[in-house]
Structure 1
Amino acid sequence: MRLLTALIVSLLCVPSALRGQAACPTPWPLEEALRIGSPESTDLVASVLDLAIGPDSALYVAQAMVPSVTVFSLDGRVLRRIGRAGQGPGDIQLAARAVGWIGDTLWVADFNRIQLFTSDEHRPEQVIQFSLGVPEEGSSLTPGRMLADGTLVGRRRTTDGQAWSSRGENPGLALRRLSRSGEVLDTITTIEWPGNAVEHERDARLFPGQHPLRDLPPIGLGEYLAAVTPNGSAVVQIGKVHEDATPPTFDLLVISIRGDTLLHRSVEYEPREVTRVMERRLADEYAGWRAGDYTQGSELTETTRARTRRAARGVFWMPEHLPPVRQVVAGTDGTIWLLREMREDRVDIWEVYDSDGALEGTVEIGHGRSSLVPWDPRLAVALASRDEVWGATYGDFGIPYIHRYLIDRTCAP
């Protein structure tokens, strides 16, 4: 048995160049099958933070500033709402930030808790609440997402007013597996942390901001280039990027929640230089975002905004090459979805890999916006498989939408 296990692991870790299979050379078309939300409807009233499909084949949706989970049928009808504003058991503090299912247990994360519901959606079986300080990162951990074995991973929060930091000879942030009481059980994996903060040392009023090319995903784990599988059994992540290798590669990893390497593939890519046009555009957008140009109701005067823009542009920096991967989504069917480099035309290119790390095809998304942040992806992908994609966008006047797209995997010649 040990020999067989070792053989399987060795096959999974063979570089992709040696085991690659032919992928479809043309993008798979998408067809919108469902859209939830409209200017007249109150079913969705704020941006979507998370969604999950339950064992009852219903869609469970968490929204910003909404102290409940909205449950939809898969044809878009509102079935019920779970939770209400409050701090007691069954209540939701501020907003349902994340939602999911582990077996027959519904878990709902709010501001700093996770509640577990089994037989009664109004009375949780357990309320999990703790705050674990991690001074070496300048952060604390509160309950984040449930894992398949009943443990969980934490949600990072800064505690020193600075960006998270990874210090030492081997930079990276530990993704820890935690007990329900907040005890560190072990480290699942290390998240590569390339220093994605834009520091504002020249102006103490501007706290560090995340770089547009290295921003965190709008939906999901909230870690850089990492995602938990929908069943909570593993973490999919991009490891080290070997830009100076011949040829350049990045590591595609799947790590079990116990820390075992299930997949390690070396994916070749061609580095793309950051053009001056893109650099100027992102610098202007970053400066505008820091000045509040993309949000409504800002009380800042134009003089203050202009000063903020100048300060932001003064410290904005760009790498020589674009990061090869912008986001990671773990598919419901074992597929791995990678959002590749930002393009000048801002068409999002998602590559779809199978469970062995072999590229199967691509999906292009060239319309929509997933948030008010101008550099965010077109679609905030929440659930994906070979057959369908669920995601969220913003429409005109800040109206939120949920979309379901069917994938036509017919490979055109």
Structure 2
Amino acid sequence: MTETASRLVNEGEAYVRLLTCAIAVLLCAPAGIRAQAACPTPWQLEEVLRIGSPESTDLVASVLDLAIGPDSALYVAQAMVPAVTVFSHNGQVLRRIGRAGQGPGDIELAARAVGWIGDTLWVADFNRIQLFTTDERRPDQVIQFSRGVPEEGSLLTPGRMLADGTLIGRRRITDGGALSSRGENPGLALRRLSRSGEVLDTIATIEWPGNAIEHERDAGLFPGRHPLRDLAPVGLGEYLTAVKPDGAAVVRIGEVREDATPPTFDLLVISIRGDTLLHRSVEYEPREVTRAMERRLADEYSGWRAGYYTRSSELTETTLERRRRAVRRVFWVPEYLPPVRQVVAGTDGTIWLLREMREDRVDVWEVYDVGGTLEGTVEIGHGRTSLVPWDPRLAVSVASRDEVWGATYGDFGIPYIHRYLVDRTCASGPAQNGA
């Protein structure tokens, strides 16, 4: 092991010990110390920075990942861009890391994910992770492996770095049937891997509640994720699961008990060693999927899968309509809306949960503290993260009680990055949309 790798492992183990001790103290504290009333009105978001414009070439494709470095700069990975773009805190381009290629320091196809563990920058591309410390042109290490998981119909390649120098694999579905077979399966294993691709242990089991829609065999059509159970536009790429920015733990939604009295869902924080740091049952009121929402989602989903939103000149009107009808016939909805749509781990220990889809399409984010107590909410009623109409308004990448960084997708395919300051003043008047 190199000196850099050894230092990364030692620092990571120290982070894990510190986090475990801190959370243990908080969770063992008297309830009266931890408890606080949630703000009765939504916190407000004030936009203070927007990066991107029709005239600019700073952002040329949708944002895949975003991280704040130790230097307070913004490190951005974009689709189809073989580089990481580094912005100052006021939105000026400082430099670009990487170039197209497959050698050390190159980036294959696109920088898919980016982050920092201590003083080490890690960049993930199509099937590798590269580690940089002193020279952004020459990686200290290139990590590359491919491990098949036949029982899941998937393949694991390097995904994201963890605090102790190990990794979480990026899960690629290689068997389309695996998407629809999970409903009868106990879940998908979130594995911790060595840098050589060896499975070290399982951090957690990810729930997979029938996330796909099957339909008749048809060229160009295959099982797809249900719009009410889709994956986050940025982040880990696992269902309702996020990695903390320091790589020391994962935050996830566990079992949902909609038939219990009262109905609850589990909010979990699990260390990368598999220790449960937080397990809280959150009460909620199940919301039925209305007939109007079912019709709207069916029309949108069938149109999307058929190709109406990304229409190709190769597809005739007859083919598009045949595909749309095929998907529409097999579209289904659950009786109740999933209580949580996405999870974001805050940089300050907060946990951000995107709650149920609403008829008015206003996104409601709930913000919980390190002990799982609700502190406040944020409402976002404008923006879009892709051409897919059911996607969130804002792809939240970095969040805390003080600021939120996120990405949207404007007209004519223009990508934007936004920075918001969070106004946590509890007003007594009626709530207003935050963004």
Is the TM value for this pair above 0.5? yes
* Partner residue in 2 for 1:255: 270
Which among 413, 426, 431 is matched to residue 398 of structure 1? 413
Cα RMSD (Å) = 2.2
- Note the C-alpha offset of 1:12: 3.5
- Note the C-alpha offset of 1:13: 9.0
Q: Does 2:63 align with 1:67?
A: no
* Partner residue in 2 for 1:231: 246
Contact 1:166 1:193 (C-alpha < 8 Å) held by counterparts: no
Cα distance in structure 1, aligned partners of 2:312 and 2:290: 34
Which among 309, 323, 326 is matched to residue 308 of structure 1? 323
- The one-letter code of the counterpart of 1:92 is I
Which among 205, 222, 232 is matched to residue 237 of structure 2? 222
Q: Does 2:255 align with 1:240?
A: yes
- Note the C-alpha offset of 1:89: 0.6
Contact 2:34 2:371 (C-alpha < 8 Å) held by counterparts: no
* Partner residue in 2 for 1:158: 173
- The one-letter code of the counterpart of 1:88 is G
- The one-letter code of the counterpart of 2:393 is R
- The one-letter code of the counterpart of 1:145 is R
Gaps of 5+ in 2: 1-19, 429-435
- Note the C-alpha offset of 1:301: 1.0
Of all paired residues, the percent bearing the same amino acid is 86
- Note the C-alpha offset of 1:246: 0.4
Per-residue Cα deviation, 1:105-124 (whole angstroms, up to 9, x for no partner): 10000000000111110111
Cα distance in structure 2, aligned partners of 1:166 and 1:18: 45
- The one-letter code of the counterpart of 1:276 is R
Contact 2:182 2:210 (C-alpha < 8 Å) held by counterparts: no
Contact 1:233 1:257 (C-alpha < 8 Å) held by counterparts: yes
- The one-letter code of the counterpart of 1:207 is F
Cα distance in structure 2, aligned partners of 1:179 and 1:166: 28
Cα distance in structure 2, aligned partners of 1:170 and 1:297: 36
Per-residue Cα deviation, 1:100-150 (whole angstroms, up to 9, x for no partner): 000111000000000011111011111111111111100010000000000
Cα distance in structure 1, aligned partners of 2:112 and 2:381: 27
What TM-score results when the alignment is normalised by the length of structure 2? Answer: 0.90
* Partner residue in 1 for 2:283: 268
* Partner residue in 1 for 2:132: 117
Task: Give the secondary-structure state (helix, strand or coil) at the position aligned to 2:177.
Answer: coil
Cα distance in structure 2, aligned partners of 1:204 and 1:13: 57
Which among 50, 56, 59 is matched to residue 44 of structure 1? 59
Task: Give the secondary-structure state (helix, strand or coil) at the position aligned to 1:66.
Answer: coil
How many residues are aligned here? Answer: 408
Cα distance in structure 1, aligned partners of 2:59 and 2:53: 8
- Note the C-alpha offset of 1:19: 7.3
Which among 344, 348, 367 is matched to residue 333 of structure 1? 348
Residues 172 and 316 of structure 1, relative CA distance in 2, 3 Å threshold: same
- The one-letter code of the counterpart of 1:256 is S
Residues 164 and 185 of structure 1, relative CA distance in 2, 3 Å threshold: farther
The aligned runs of 1:377-388 (5 Å cut-off) are: 377-388=392-403
Per-residue Cα deviation, 1:243-288 (whole angstroms, up to 9, x for no partner): 1110000000000000000000010000000001100000000011
Q: Does 2:199 align with 1:184?
A: yes
- The one-letter code of the counterpart of 2:303 is G
Residues 13 and 263 of structure 1, relative CA distance in 2, 3 Å threshold: farther
Contact 1:13 1:263 (C-alpha < 8 Å) held by counterparts: no
- The one-letter code of the counterpart of 1:131 is S
Which among 379, 387, 397 is matched to residue 372 of structure 1? 387
* Partner residue in 1 for 2:4: none
What TM-score results when the alignment is normalised by the length of structure 1? Answer: 0.95
Which among 289, 297, 300 is matched to residue 282 of structure 1? 297
* Partner residue in 1 for 2:121: 106
Task: Give the secondary-structure state (helix, strand or coil) at the position aligned to 1:185.
Answer: strand
Cα distance in structure 2, aligned partners of 1:161 and 1:105: 36
Per-residue Cα deviation, 1:335-354 (whole angstroms, up to 9, x for no partner): 00000000000000000000
* Partner residue in 1 for 2:336: 321
Residues 10 and 385 of structure 1, relative CA distance in 2, 3 Å threshold: closer
Gaps of 5+ in 1: none
Contact 1:139 1:164 (C-alpha < 8 Å) held by counterparts: no
Contact 1:336 1:353 (C-alpha < 8 Å) held by counterparts: yes
Per-residue Cα deviation, 1:166-222 (whole angstroms, up to 9, x for no partner): 669861110000000000000001111101000124546521000000000000000
